[in-house]
Amino acid sequence: MPDAFKSLAKLIATRTKTALASGDLLSIDTEYEIVEEQGIPFIIRSSHNIARKQQAASSKKQSNSDNPFLPYEPAMFVCNLSDTHVCLLNKFNVVDNHVLMVTRRYESQDTLLTLDDFTAISTALQQMDGLVFYNGGRTAGASQQHKHLQLIPRTLVPKMVDLPIERALAIEQLDYNRCHFQCGPYPHWQVRLNCCAQENIETTAHLLLTHYCHICQQLNMYNTEMGLATIPYNLLLTRDWMVFVQRSKEQFEGISFNGLAFAGSFFVRNDKQLSMLKTHGPLAALAFVTVNTSID
């Protein structure tokens, strides 16, 4: 195993510090508050200054470069995860130590996940107790078309060790390695895992792929000719569980949701959106953008 994998969290922290000092990493400053609903401590981050990201997006359009990953910026490089994936810093991070696991060659974000993807996931989670999430298509919150998974630390804010949504998922009540449809706290499919901390990355990757394929088959979301997912979805993974959420909409009252929202963390752009989300409640917002259809 490459030395880089033995201290992935430390390597990410080191690369982050270097990229911040050089001005290459353009973190978005935010404030956050905790909004509790049904015992779930949802995190709502807000920022009144996202001009740097919008300016960079405008410059990218002017330069006709639609893919920030081919080539990627050298200052964003963290390590090689595998023969098929590299680990890069998220240039416009909201959460500290947020990284991307990007395919070396171009693949569409609309294609189904593969064994290579789950090998990268298993490698990362073996070395770092974090959350991996995937935005399967624009409706699921994907902002880049080049296939990339995302990894963040499990501790999103100080003194909150677990992800906000974990207690509500009632993981300990489920059987290991069996897919369950759950209506709360939002419609989703969930698998309780006991594999991602094991030494055998290959075995873990195959098991995760099996669970993923089972859900995909039940939802008839294969396009066999193109290898494309036929529905938008978010996938969330930790060492302990997998959650699959079928999406119906990308936004709630103008607020965009990606996979991180289903971990209990939201990002709003202004006071109006903040007020809107607090008025309606995070759970109603999550239910609005999902599909409540169970599987066998």
Integer Cα distance of 227 and 259 in angstroms:
22
- The distance of Cα 57 from the centroid of its chain, to the nearest Å, equals 21
Nearest to 45 by CA among 248, 191, 249, 261: 261
Integer Cα distance of 226 and 282 in angstroms:
36
- The distance of Cα 128 from the centroid of its chain, to the nearest Å, equals 15
Q: Which CATH superfamily is domain 3-288 in?
A: ATP adenylyltransferase (3.30.428.70)
Asked if 233 contacts 127 with a C-beta cutoff of 8 angstroms, the reply is no
At a CB cut-off of 8 Å and minimum separation 6, what does 23 contact?
A: none
The label of the residue with tokens 């989670």 reads: 125
Please report, as a single letter, which amino acid is at residue 228: L
Residue 290 to residues 95, 194, 202, 214, 273: CA-CA distances in angstroms?
Answer: 24, 27, 32, 19, 19
Domain ranges of the chain: 3-288
Residue-level pLDDT, tens digit, the chain, 296 residues: 444 455 899 999 999 999 999 999 999 999 999 999 999 999 999 986 665 554 555 454 444 468 999 999 999 999 999 999 999 999 999 999 999 999 999 999 999 999 999 999 999 999 999 999 999 999 999 999 999 999 999 999 998 989 999 989 988 888 898 999 989 999 999 999 987 656 689 999 999 999 999 999 888 887 656 678 889 999 999 999 999 999 999 999 999 999 999 999 999 999 999 999 999 999 999 999 999 865 44
**Torsion angle (degrees, nearest 10) of CA 228, 183, 260, 290:** 50
Integer Cα distance of 74 and 216 in angstroms:
36
Asked if 158 contacts 174 with a C-beta cutoff of 8 angstroms, the reply is no
Please report, as a single letter, which amino acid is at residue 156: L
Integer Cα distance of 131 and 112 in angstroms:
19
The model's pTM: 0.92
